[in-house]
Structure 1
Amino acid sequence: MTTRGVDGADVVYVASAADTAADVADGLAAAGAAVTVVASADAAIRAVRERDPDCVVTEFRLGEGNGLDLLRRLRRERDLPVVVFSDADDPALAAAVLDAAGAFVPTHDGGVDRLCRRLANCLGDEARVGISETMKERAMDEAPVGITVADATQPDEPLVYVNEAFERLTGYSTEQVLGRNCRFLQGPDTDPEAVRELRAGIDGAEPVSVELRNYRRNGEPFWNRVDVAPIRDGSGTVTHYIGFQTDVTRRRRAATAARRWAEECRAERRTVEHVLDRVEGLVEDVTRVLVEASSRRAVERRVCERVAATPGYAAAWVGRVDRTRDEVTTRARAGDVDRSLGDRSVDLSSAAPAARAVRTGTAESGEGSAASPDSDPADCSTIAVPLAYRETTYGVLTVYGADSNAFDAHDATLLASVGRATGNAINAIESKRMVAADEVVAVEVTVSDPNAPLTELAAAAGSRFEFEGVNRRSDGTVVLFLGADGAVSSDVDDDSSVRAITAVSTDPEWSLTEVSLSADTVVGRLGDLGVRLTDLDATDERVAYRFEAPGEPVARSAVDAFEDRYDGVELTRFRRRERSDRSGRGFVRDVRDRLTDRQLTALQKAYFGGFFERPHRVTGDDLADSMGISRSTFHQHLLAAQRKVLGAFLEDRPDLDPIPH
């Protein structure tokens, strides 16, 4: 077939929107067409009568009526090609246009270029009313959606045509489907209600659209949007049904996922609302208990009672960590259930949630089992949370659920918060008690690890270090003043926890060395725990640390810090004793608070270095050099420190008699 394209063709273009009309008219004009733009169906009819154009292009959506109605009116006027140029993505519309002997061109995906090609075909030597039968068949064959034609005049409406897209969609070839009703695509999960709706549309000779779960030849299911429209002959009798099949599996899956997500959100919201109701009451009551309780035992008892009274919880008990026996023993219990909680004891090495919570420092859950005395009661769920403050674990709270599915992640988070708050409250009570008590825990730990920083330092110096004093600066750095019977090198390894080594005095028989340790060393951790280092001595084989702790839990945490960091740790002393300097501890703390880091360092270096002895064991120049400052600046810091110490002693101590004048 030869075509002259659209060059010189007289085209009437019907469009209700001026801006759209201009774009399409320009595209047609660029292809060589002479375009007359009209704005309504009536204007198009008048233009056809007056101009006798070569063809008409109309949009589907018009101000009054639509392009399909205009196509049918034009068919009654005269025979000329009519193209419906529309953005309506509706297979049924395309079928209706074809049935009315028109051409349908979508506006998307290069619509104007496609429109020009379609007009060229319509205006060719074989052009006739609408488009040729050859072009209709070609359009159906190459359509991107599956197209079927069923013969309505034969029993069971067999298929008489399928296009290539249908073959790709279903996996069936043309030879396998012609002569069969299209229901062979249905399967076990096809919705009967959707099938009845489709059947009703066909029986009523009406266009119908449904979405069906169909099956490909290989058995793979897919969601198929089926649009069916009747085709009538000149007398109005339905002769065929044209069907369009579109794979909408992705959209259906996305919709299903969206519904599932929405339901999960609703379920989560209901869960959160339930948890919030529980949290609001439990946290408020526990906070009040912690504020009002005056003793540790009262805290433990009342927290147990409040937690056990929470809906969904059956019982609770609080155990204290006994490091000497490596077990958790019952301190308080609550709950109206038949469980033996009174004499409960859990081995810290066992797999029970309470033991695991102490070891890991986190909430641990489990199911009850009667197989072991260290396990929890059967037929219930359990959560155990540590009662801890910083590095010190005071005990563990174990909660039993009312059934085997009583707890979820929200409960674990809630109870962990209760455990932290309870640990903070116990720490505050214990701290107050220790300040007022006459007793401390004296501990000695020997570390025989060659990689320990002080052991390495003693080995490098070939000397033994003795403790003279300690200072902790505001940045967390720990400064040790160590005496030695020989000179000490100031070289420091880059990967060492020793930050600096400074010689304060270098007497041939005795030297004072200032060793700065990073805050993350074990000595730094002792300060975090409130432990007071009282003595140490270090050789190239071992370091012995002696310190005082305000209570057994803190003392045990300090020992754990050594064991976690070093090998060869031996606990050589762990005993309670009378506090020897109770009356002066508050005074010392107050004086230290008054001094700046520089003033305290100057005072310590002068004192430990023997500056106040006669004759001086170290000079002011030596001390100034060790601090990296001038002699006059050193003396300013030293005098300021002495003034503050004397001022605190002479003016502020309440237990001294007034000085007589």
Structure 2
Amino acid sequence: MSEEREVGETEEAETEGGTDETRLLATEKVVAAIGDGIYQLDPAGRFVSVNDATVEATGYDRAELLGEHASFLVDEAYVTRVEDEIADLLANEPGGVRAMEAPIRNADGERVPCELRFSVVLSDGEFEGTVGVVRDISWEKRRDAALRAQRDELEQLRHINAVVRSIDRAVVRANTADEVERTVCDRIADADPYRFALVARFDRELETLTIVSRAGIDEEDAERLRRMDFDASDGPAIEAIRNRSVWVVQDADRGDEWGASDSDAGRWSMAFVPFRYDDSIHGVLGVYANRPFAFEGPEREVLGELGEMVGYALSAVKTRQALVSERTIELTFRFSEDDYPFTALTKQVGGTSRFEDAVLHPDGSLLLYVSTEGSDPERVLEFLEEFEGVTHFRAITQREDECLLEVRYAGPMAFSTLANHGGIIRSAVAEEGIAHVTVDIPESGDVREVVNAMTGVFEDAELVSRQTVEQPTETRARFRDTLDDRLTERQLTALTTAYRAGYYDWPRGSTGEELAESLDIAPPTLHKHLRIAERKVLSAIFDEPERD
């Protein structure tokens, strides 16, 4: 019975698990089918077995690998680390598994990042070698590198945005162009991603740049930059101005030109950011980075927004100087322009048109208030209805041969252009197709800049007079400047529109609903802006002035 039972148990074992030979065959098939590389080393570290995945991954034939030492595929430094791990396993954890990363050198000489997992093989307590798994982790490495780059980029953008916000707060309080330029240079040069910054002013007529401020760079380096022709007519700074966008020199060989230290030698990138606002270019900001291919994507966009913000600040400084200057230069221009609505109006319909005021509409167009005399109001309205670029108009008041108009015009205008150069329009009158425009600029202002701005909008504009004018001690402009400091842009827009549209006349020339429609805002929003603005104006008149 015992013999029958033994035979039965043997048959059952063979039926359930197969013979040793069939089990070995099954194991070999599994090893061969696994996608990761599997290998076995003898006690001396030589390959005694490799599966198909190892052969495919390394690019060597199986015959080339078998008998070779592990250093055939792995650098000696990693072989030493593996041997240390094996010694520790044998001494402390014979049944354990160890893992490490190591580059595998394939038949093409490339190093493929891999993860090694291995354990020791013992037979009757004797060390018979190691068995291990090799997994290609190239994809994980690329993914991790991409994630790190993304995190670094987001952190860098966060830092740059913080710098830009600090510049925004600082330039709003600046009183001169020098102060604006110096602030921008200092804050940018102090930002971690950048090494230095410089600002150059632009001469529109000569198309030249003059460095007026720099930070993080000494005179010697500035001279080297000049020798690199950054400001040449075909250089990157001028290209940024011509294209009105950020212009970048990427991955440029620096060599010893900048006296680079070991930590930043090799490559560099530089961005040139135009200071622009509307159609005006005030200069350019140069930003230097110790890294190739800097200023990509969002970083370039942020710098572009910085250029627009600084351009606006420089325009505001010039306008403010014109308002508060004790002496101004008065310039009078004459031009005839058929594409300009109010010269064309007086030429085709007759009479006189006079500029009263202008308000910047939220959509970027100008809301103009113009009075006409000596012409039929109905013919004036018919003319405006057909004129290209006029997107909205209405007669606020009209009598037999005169009217007050509200006109939204999207075409080129001199008003915003002159304001960007510090010019304030004091009067503008058109008659028989010819306009005379008088502009005040600060005594320190650049007359040539303003003349260029006028001829840039009106081709036949001609400067017919220039004189220096003394301003009274307390001027309307000074009071207006005080209000500008107190009122937000929306409040000032609402108040000016209401005043020019006859909202405060009796009877009213415009209702609140009409004003709200002109500004594309809800009537309650309009009334809120007006109420707050009115209180601020009355406060400026009746309250005691603030003391330092």
Question: TM bucket by the smaller chain?
Answer: 0.5 to 0.7
Q: How far apart are residue 455 of structure 1 and its match?
A: 6.7
Query: What is the aligned partner in structure 2 of residue 547 from structure 1?
Result: 438
**Secondary structure of the residue that 2:14 maps to in structure 1?**
coil
The within-5 A match list for 1:605-616 is none
How far apart in 2 are the matches of 1:212 and 1:480? 79
Aligned match of 2:501: 601
Equivalence for 1:522: 413
Deviations 1:621-643 (A, max 9, x none): 9x899x989xxxxxxxxxxxxxx
Q: Where does 1:426-465 land on structure 2 (aligned, <5 Å)?
A: 428=317, 431-432=320-321, 435-444=324-333, 446=335, 448=337, 450=339, 452-454=340-342, 462-464=348-350
Q: Tell me, in whole angstroms, the C-alpha distance in 2 between the residues paired with 1:151 and 1:331.
A: 70
2:23 aligned residue? 135
Name the amino acid aligned to 1:190.
V
Instruction: Give the aligned partner of residue 531 of structure 1.
Output: 424
Counterpart-to-counterpart distance in 1, 2:386 and 2:72: 76
Q: Which amino acid aligns with 1:470?
A: E
Superposed displacement of residue 573, structure 1: 0.7
2:77 is the counterpart of 1:190: no
Distance change >3 Å, CA 596–CA 356, structure 1 → 2: closer
Q: How far 1:570 sits from its partner (Å)?
A: 2.6
State, as a whole percentage, how many aligned pairs show the same letter.
14
| Structure 1: distance between partners of 2:284 and 2:37 | 71
Shift of 1:571: 3.0
Displacement, 1:192?
1.6
Q: For the structure 1 residues 548 and 528, does the alpha-carbon distance in structure 2 shift closer, same or farther, using more than 3 Å as the test?
A: closer
- 1:243 aligned residue: 131
- Measured after TM superposition, the shift of residue 500 of structure 1 is 1.6
The residue correspondences of 1:239-278 to structure 2 (distance < 5 A) are: 243-246=131-134, 248-250=135-137, 254-255=140-141, 258=144
**Aligned counterpart, 2:462:** 572
Please state whether the residue corresponding to 1:481 is helix, strand or coil. strand
The 5-angstrom pairing of residues 308-387 of structure 1 reads 350-351=233-234
Report deviation, 1:216: 5.9
Q: AA paired with 2:354?
A: E
The 8 Å contact of residues 147 and 165 in structure 1, kept in 2 or not, is answered as yes
Choose which of 497, 500, 518 in structure 1 pairs with 2:390. 497
Distance of aligned partners of 1:156 and 1:310 in 2 relative to their CA distance in 1, 3 Å threshold: closer
Give matches, 1:410-425, under 5 Å.
Answer: 424=313
Structure 1 residue 513 displacement after superposition: 6.6
How much has 1:547 moved relative to structure 2? 3.1
Distance 1:192 1:558, change over 3 A: same
Q: Deviations over 1:173-215 (max 9, x none)?
A: xxx636x763559677622233356568599796775665446
Tell me if the contact between 2:374 and 2:402 (Cα under 8 Å) persists in the aligned partners: yes
What residue is the counterpart of 1:477 in the other structure? 367
What 5-or-longer segments of structure 1 have no aligned partner? 1-77, 82-121, 368-377, 607-619, 630-643, 653-661
- 1:177 is matched with which residue? 62
3-state SS in 2 of match to 1:525: helix
Please state whether the residue corresponding to 2:428 is helix, strand or coil. strand
3-state SS of paired residue (2:460):
strand
1:488 aligns with 2:371: no
Residues 339 and 538 from structure 1, CA distance in 2 versus in 1: closer, same or farther, beyond 3 angstroms?
farther
Letter in structure 2 aligned against 1:570? D
Cα separation, partners in 2 of 1:184 and 1:481, compared to 1, 3 Å: farther
Residues 123 and 463 of structure 1: is their aligned pair in 2 closer, same or farther, counting only changes over 3 Å?
farther
Compute the displacement of 1:444 (Å).
Answer: 1.7
CA 1:435 to 1:478, structure 2 compared with 1: closer, same or farther past 3 Å?
same
- Structure 2: gaps (5+ residues): 1-5, 251-256, 260-267, 485-491, 516-533, 543-548
The aligned amino acid for 2:438 is F
1:516 Cα shift?
A: 0.5
Match of 1:225 among 100, 116, 133: 116
The answer (yes or no) to whether the contact 2:368–2:407 under 8 Å persists in 1 is yes
1:137 is paired with a residue of what secondary structure?
Answer: helix
Aligned residue for 1:471, secondary structure, equals strand
Q: Does the 8 Å contact 1:140/1:147 carry over to 2?
A: no
Report how far residue 142 of structure 1 moved.
2.7
Q: CA deviation at 1:471?
A: 3.2
Stretch moving more, 430-439 or 199-208: 199-208
Structure-1 residue corresponding to 2:253: none
- Deviation track 1:206-251 (CA, whole Å, cap 9, x = no partner) reads 677566544667777543636354363xxx38697673434x222x
Match for 1:500: what amino acid?
F
What CA distance in whole angstroms lies between the structure 2 residues aligned with 1:448 and 1:137?
Answer: 96
Amino acid at match of 1:254: E
Distance 1:214 1:311 in 2: 41
What number of residue pairs does the alignment pair up? Answer: 458
The one-letter code of the counterpart of 2:74 is T
Structure number with greater CO (CA < 8 Å, separation at least 6) is 2
The one-letter code of the counterpart of 1:442 is L
Which residues in structure 2 correspond to 1:579-594 (within 5 Å)?
A: 579=469, 585=476
- What residue identity is the alignment partner of 1:177? R
The one-character-per-residue Cα deviations of 1:300-345 (angstroms, maximum 9, x if unpaired) are 99989999x999999999876666766566889999857999xx9x
Aligned to 2:522: none
Letter in 1 for 2:501: T
- TM-score normalised according to structure 1 size: 0.46
Q: How far is 1:572 from its partner? A: 0.4
Q: Which is higher, the Rg of structure 1 or of structure 2?
A: 1
SS in structure 1 at match of 2:15 = coil
Deviations 1:342-374 (A, max 9, x none): xx9x9998356776676677787889xxxxxxx
Q: State the Cα distance separating 1:595 from its structure 2 match.
A: 7.7
Give the distance between the partners of 1:317 and 1:147, measured in 2 at CA. Answer: 56
The aligned residue for residue 87 of structure 1 is none
Contact persistence 2:498–2:504 (CA under 8 A): no
**C-alpha contact 1:394 1:553 (8 A) present in aligned 2:** no
Alpha-carbon distance in 2 for matches of 1:303, 1:505: 51
